[in-house]
Structure 1
Amino acid sequence: MACPPESPARNISAITDFSGPPTFPDNWQPSYTQNGYVKNFTAASDPCLQPHLRGLHGTFIEPVSMCTSRELIPLFGGSKLLMNNEILIPGAMYLSTNSLYSGGWTHGPSWRKKKDAIIWRGVASGGRNKPENWRHFHRHRLVEMLNGTTVTSAENGVSEPSTFALPPLSLYDFPRRREHRLGEWLRRIADVGFTKLNCIDEDSVYCDYVAPYFSLVERMTMKEQYAFKFMPDVDGNSFSARFRGLLLSTSLPIKATIYAEWHDDRLFPWLHFAPMDNTFQDIYALIDYFTRDKKGDAAARFIAETGKKWAETMLRRDDMLLYTWRALLEFARVSDENREILGFVDDLV
């Protein structure tokens, strides 16, 4: 209901049955992409333009918490959906030095010393995943899409993936995809997995309903993860609190999100990070380009190093403090009944 009346998602009915496989749009080439790649990251994050996300993202399936209002109540938050109106401030976790989110004060070795590979560790968050809905959750999709064994089975027609469909060859035509070598390649370069399955039965370490598809992997600190070149970053229950740490690292963040944050106007896709569609259909082609030859590697290094330098200039703790201070001063001004003359100094001359 918060979407504009003319938007594609405004009048689409809610999904009531998530027991079947997720549905992906055919030949998905939205206006915010060019040749299959994101060119407008703000639009790419807008669920109002993507009705299919109601079945592909945990926020719209069964969020951990949800409270809505049509009243004009001032709310400050660390993130928001684009159709909502919270006043954005830096998320609390961005102020934390917890190595789980930031990597501490270590931001990784130089690019040349990094592993030419992809790393992701996390919990199966994003909402309450259950036997009847887990196939629709975005983090489960990311992990399964980067599992070489699963991808090989899909490429050879042995079995259908539970959470995704292989991207169309007509849109992403590159040798590894064309020659059915994606799975073999991913087994060499991808180190991806869940450290906790977050099943509905909190007393169970292993979820019976996902046990045939996912195995737990060992935890890895962010400091250790910074030894890898490529780091996908997707939403959890809300925004990813690791994004600032990834920007400050010497690795390349590959980012997909439906959440707006305070720093969005300060960051530029393809200059400070690599943007990714929320279907993740472009992830193979993105990584293929960055790993195929010296040109791709140089492009990845440029984005990683430019993003790090920019984050060290614009996303410091001092920047977050000043941003919040100015936001609160402005909120105090507009809340004051004397706001029309507040701070008026002409009569002092």
Structure 2
Amino acid sequence: MPTRPSLTRVPSESPWTFSHQTRFTQRRWRPLLIFTLLACSTVTIFRFGFHAGSSSSISSSSEASSSHPFTLTYSTHPITRMMEEGQERFQSKIRKQSKTLSEAIEQYKLRYGMAPPKGFDGWWEFAKKNGVVLVDEYDTLMRDLAPFYALRGQTAFGDYVDEDEDPFRPGSGLDRQGWALGGGHEMRRRIAEVASVASIDIVQIRKGNLSTVSISKDGFVDDEVSARAIGLKSMLGSSAAYLPDIDFPVNAKAEGRVIVPWDRWEVAGQGGMASDKIGLGMGNRSYIEDLAPHDIKDTLHPLSTFHPDWRGAGNVWDKWRRTCPPTSTARKSYTSIRSALIDKTATSHNAVSGRITHSSVDPAFLFVPSTSFNAVSFCDLPHLHYTQGHFFSDWRTLEDLYPVLSPARAKGFGDIKIPSHYYYGSTQAYTYGWDKATMTVEAVDRGEVAWGDVTDAEGGVDDRDFIIDPAYDGHNNTSNPPRNRKTGKESKRNKIFWRGATTGGGNSPPGFAALYQRHRAVRMAGWDIEGDVEVWVPYSNPIANISAHHHLSSAKFRTLQNHTKVVDAPLIAHKIPLATLNMALMDVAFVKASNAKQYPGGLKKLTEDHRFSSGVLLGNHWQYKYLLDLDGMSYSGRFMSFLASDSVPIKSTVYEEFFSEWIEPWVHYIPLSASYEEIYNIFGYFSGIPAEVVEKVYGNATDPVTGALLFPPGTNIPAIPGAPDGDARLQRIARAGKQWKNTIGRKVDMETYVYRLALEWARLNADDREAMTMKV
């Protein structure tokens, strides 16, 4: 039957903790992994840690990143360019927002090819009253909802009669206004059906009153009963009085639940009708409803026999790969025999996005313009799925188009995004500024540390220049924050910091936990990892290129450095041992061994292969300038708190969230590829190379003519600076992220989002969708 095209339009412009630390050695770990993967009859993977999920095949880079760094200068550096372009893009988006209700209605009609839902004017008043900035940016929401407009009822069930159909489009299943006949009835039927599934709860609105319902699941006990449903209920509190009676099915798990196979979609123009209201000009794929007759005994609860978990009967990946085109590699073969971790082909990962990058460009200098949600094609490179834990979730997925509200979704999933309850609620573990004693959220967290110094007369600051109180925890003890011993000023530490549990994926099938995103990151940041990396920094003073100035004495170095003016300097490479860099700038560790049995070798191997440290309070994070943000079982629940601080989140994720089109990478946070390899050059751009690294790498450098040490014993060797305004740029991102959180990522912005979602939801659930459409 003809169906509506979907919205694919491009927007308009744990109890185990350890006080000691264990470290990872690749040689020790490699044989066990090889044995495990061969035993699973899957893919042979020989190398991981730093090169796990190598960006040569995982991440997507910017155009500028494809240039070799020796051809670049500070002003043409990819980060410089992406920051400038991102700022202009974000400001342009803000300037274009509607100023009046009539403008908002016209913008809605232009984007989505139909009038707004009934109650849109009330939503507009709510948004304007609360100072909502981005009133037009709801394309991701509409893309989530678009497939459900193709649903229609069946005459066999009395959802409609043939006379209701548009006589000019016989057999279309559409009424004279272009709405799917019986669509509201079918939507409600599917909501009732999916409510019977384990870990799906219902938020109900009845006569303006909100409640949560959890239907009996035949003895199945959830470990997160109603947490997300209660969060949605709270977010709907401001708008429920203006909404009709409707039900919202909410996923109680972090993982996505809906995976619709490729053959349930069709291409517009091959049955789709260009005149249909929803998605006019917005894309080329639409859901195909299954109209096969159902056995009468299954019509009320066809999911009544649904199993909550895999229990060895299949897995997420095998279902997910069926979302790919039949011609894709993922569909033509069960998996790829090519290793995701050692493959170094003539062209890089940019082939995924249509770009070709010469193989001589080090993956450590390939920066991503955004997160990996759209950057990685698991359909074309199926071997990469081993590096993402959500493909190994233990929870069974739904293989038909059921409406399920989830806090995030990865590519290929059909869940509908809602704000996370972690973002909306207030807890000590997830909320910046939360004071447990007063039960209030303060504007400035008690653990917040001033930005402080990064450079001094001697060229740089590293942890050796700080007075560190090991008892400082950012919450209970905040009396002695880090201070620069030279200036006496309070100052954030110039390190990349992360703490978390060993979550990141399920165990279906078992044996792959070592390749999940968190495990790879912790091993990559290990303090005894093998290998080197090239860090490219602007050559703006003599010490930045020792090899070019080896004939100069250390005194001359100092004299020239202090008198060197900032210029648009070319980039110079420094090849540095990874262990040396990690010791100086990485503080990354697990604090809790969750589900240790699913790791090959169990708890013993898990603790041998990764660094573990004591747990930290959220406030302890704010003493660091860089905060690494990694996916867990799904999205990271701490991202909003990181944004609210005066630190800078470095975010790596394969998920899209409700705010994804509201926030700008390289303006409000730093995006990181799924391989993480470019993190060293990100640090080098903003902060240079720490003095302690320079000392270890170049401390014994000699004059090739005289053989004398360039730096006599006792010389205080300075750091190699990064970009001329690198620290100022880093602080600009921190301040922009905080400003975004306080103006666009507020609780009331989340309420505005779910209010708008609820209006669209009410129209989708209505028997008469035309009556639930605003008259304009």
The TM-score bracket by the shorter chain reads 0.7 to 0.9
Number of residue pairs matched? 323
Q: Secondary structure at the match of 2:642?
A: helix
Structure 1 or 2, whichever has the larger Rg, is 2
1:98 equivalent in structure 2: 427
Q: Judge conservation of contact 1:45–1:257 (CA < 8 Å) in 2.
A: no
1:161 equivalent in structure 2: none
- Please, what is the CA RMSD of the aligned residues? 3.0
2:733 equivalent in structure 1: 303
The yes-or-no answer on 1:289 pairing with 2:685 is yes
Q: Secondary structure at the match of 1:226?
A: helix
Distance 1:38 1:8, change over 3 A: farther
2:531 to 154, 158, 183: 154
Cα offset for 1:173? 5.2
2:384 to 45, 53, 74: 53
1:82 equivalent in structure 2: 411
Q: Secondary structure at the match of 1:209?
A: helix
2:753 to 323, 327, 338: 323
Code of the aligned partner of 1:68: L
Deviations, residues 199-257 of structure 1 (Å, cap 9, x unaligned): 4439xxx8022232224211111211111000111100011101111111111111111
Q: Judge conservation of contact 2:763–2:773 (CA < 8 Å) in 1.
A: no
Q: Distance in 2 between matches of 1:115 and 1:74?
A: 45
1:73 equivalent in structure 2: 402
Distance 1:50 1:267, change over 3 A: farther
Distance 1:101 1:46, change over 3 A: farther
Cα offset for 1:100? 1.5
Code of the aligned partner of 1:84: F
1:270 to 663, 666, 682: 666
Q: Judge conservation of contact 1:47–1:258 (CA < 8 Å) in 2.
A: no
**How do residues 1-349 of structure 1 correspond to structure 2 at under 5 angstroms?**
1-4=322-325, 9=330, 11=332, 13-14=334-335, 22-23=341-342, 26=345, 28-30=348-350, 36-41=366-371, 42-44=373-375, 47-48=378-379, 51-60=382-391, 62-69=392-399, 71-103=400-432, 104=434, 105=441, 106-107=444-445, 108-112=448-452, 113-128=491-506, 132-150=511-529, 153-155=530-532, 178-201=574-597, 207-292=603-688, 293=722, 294-343=724-773
Cα offset for 1:343? 4.9
Deviations, residues 19-77 of structure 1 (Å, cap 9, x unaligned): x99445546341668961112435236644653431211122x22424131x2211111
Cα offset for 1:178? 4.2
Give ranges in structure 2 of 5+ residues lacking alignment: 1-321, 358-364, 435-440, 453-490, 538-543, 545-571, 689-721
Deviations, residues 138-161 of structure 1 (Å, cap 9, x unaligned): 1011111112222xx334xxxxxx
Deviations, residues 290-340 of structure 1 (Å, cap 9, x unaligned): 211352222211111111101210110111111112101211112201111
Q: Distance in 2 between matches of 1:200 and 1:218?
A: 17
Code of the aligned partner of 1:37: F
Deviations, residues 100-143 of structure 1 (Å, cap 9, x unaligned): 12232444233222111111000011114698323311101111
Q: Judge conservation of contact 1:57–1:138 (CA < 8 Å) in 2.
A: yes
Give ranges in structure 1 of 5+ residues lacking alignment: 156-165
Q: Secondary structure at the match of 2:634?
A: coil
Q: Distance in 2 between matches of 1:318 and 1:56?
A: 36
Distance 1:267 1:24, change over 3 A: farther
Q: Judge conservation of contact 2:523–2:611 (CA < 8 Å) in 1.
A: no
Q: Secondary structure at the match of 1:184?
A: helix
Distance 1:343 1:65, change over 3 A: closer
Q: Secondary structure at the match of 2:605?
A: coil
Deviations, residues 159-196 of structure 1 (Å, cap 9, x unaligned): xxxxxxx7xx5xx6568974333321221222210011
Q: Judge conservation of contact 1:147–1:183 (CA < 8 Å) in 2.
A: yes
Q: Distance in 2 between matches of 1:201 and 1:135?
A: 12
TM-score (ref. length: structure 1) = 0.82
Q: Judge conservation of contact 1:139–1:234 (CA < 8 Å) in 2.
A: yes
Distance 1:219 1:243, change over 3 A: same
Q: Judge conservation of contact 1:25–1:52 (CA < 8 Å) in 2.
A: no
Distance 1:6 1:310, change over 3 A: farther
Q: Judge conservation of contact 1:21–1:135 (CA < 8 Å) in 2.
A: no
Distance 1:46 1:290, change over 3 A: farther
Q: Distance in 2 between matches of 1:50 and 1:308?
A: 37
Q: Judge conservation of contact 1:15–1:54 (CA < 8 Å) in 2.
A: no
Q: Distance in 2 between matches of 1:196 and 1:177?
A: 37
Q: Distance in 1 between matches of 2:575 and 2:498?
A: 26
Q: Distance in 2 between matches of 1:239 and 1:111?
A: 28
Q: Distance in 2 between matches of 1:193 and 1:143?
A: 6
Q: Secondary structure at the match of 1:231?
A: strand
TM-score (ref. length: structure 2) = 0.39
Cα offset for 1:5? 5.2
